[in-house]
Amino acid sequence: MLIFALDSSAVVATVALYRDKAPLASFTLKNGNTHSETLLPMAKALFEVTGYTADDVDVFACSAGPGSFTGMRIGAATVKGLAFGKGKTVIGVSTLEAMARNLLPTKGLICPVMNARRGQVYNALFFADGDSLTRLCPDRALAADDLAAELRAREAPFYLIGDGVDVATAALGDLTPLPCPTPVAEQNAAGVALAAYHLYEAGVRTTDRDLSPIYLRLPQAERERLEKEQATKKDGN
């Protein structure tokens, strides 16, 4: 099974091609360009160097969120464009689960975090036994202080990964995460491919029509609009 995967949920743009659970090639770019400028050229380059085309792909996958609202929309649009008219399986995976899968064959508690602004992080907790990954809670948006309290209560060593590390670390106090290799500390399409593989093996057969971003919160512009409306109503009273 040939899997094409991408992740555009944060600053990093990353694409990968996998044969089942084995990597064939991957590209990662973090140069400040927008995902709309980089993703499609990266995908084309990936197919070029491997000798495959989009027609050869059995499963298209992308990180569906949580993450950057714009980035997720661009990623979904790119995958839909590549898969259009091919009748292939298209799978959206949790960004947080994909990040956790990047750490396998690590053993222990894995805590991926993404910066959700305003002192909050997107997070889920996973336990890795070296071969498999067990989800301990659903994807969520919560205050960094609340996450720190939960980790403290668990009294277990943990890996902290993702672009929300700085926000989470500030709330951890004397809690020190286990050291994590830098290449797997950020989003990577490899984890997306592995997550998609496991979903496919579990029977998931979604299509491009089913693919939509996962929003745990309203976009910032929408939140600010609602806050202004509430403030206006309050002043009117």
2-95+187-222 under CATH 3.30.420.40, yes or no: yes
What is the pLDDT, as a whole number, of residue 44? 97
**Which CATH number describes the domain made up of 98-184?**
3.30.420.200
Fold match between domain 2-95+187-222 and domain 98-184: yes
What are the extents of the domains in the chain?
2-95+187-222, 98-184
What's the gap between Cα 117 and its chain centre?
17
Residues 6+ positions from 85 with CB-CB distance below 8 Å:
none
What torsion, rounded to 10 degrees, do the Cα atoms 163, 168, 173, 175 define? -80
Farthest-apart Cα atoms in the chain, separation? 66
- Provide block-wise average pLDDT over 10 residues at a time, the chain (237 residues): 96 96 95 89 98 98 94 95 96 97 93 94 96 96 97 96 94 93 82 98 95 74 50 57
Q: What pLDDT does 223 receive?
A: 44
Element (H, E) at 167: helix 165-172
User: Beta 59-65 vs 89-94: how paired, if at all?
Assistant: parallel
